[in-house]
Chain A
Amino acid sequence: EPEVTQTPSHQVTQMGQEVILRCVPISNHLYFYWYRQILGQKVEFLVSFYNNEISEKSEIFDDQFSVERPDGSNFTLKIRSTKLEDSAMYFCASCPSAGELFFGEGSRLTVL
Chain B
Amino acid sequence: RKEVEQDPGPFNVPEGATVAFNCTYSNSASQSFFWYRQDCRKEPKLLMSVYSSGNEDGRFTAQLNRASQYISLLIRDSKLSDSATYLCVVSRYSSASKIIFGSGTRLSIRP
Contacts and interface: CB of A to CB of B under 8 A. Distances in A.
Interface in B70-111: 87, 89, 91, 94-104
Interface range on chain B: under 10, 10 to 19, 20 to 34, or 35 or more?
Answer: 20 to 34
Nearest to A91: B43
B55 interface: no
Contacts of B36: 101
Chain A interface mostly: strand
A48 B89 CA distance: 15
Nearest to A103: B43
Interface of B: 31-32, 34, 36, 38, 41-46, 49, 87, 89, 91, 94-104
B42 to A, nearest CB: 7
A97 interface: yes
A100 B43 contact: no
Nearest to B102: A42
A100 B46 contact: yes
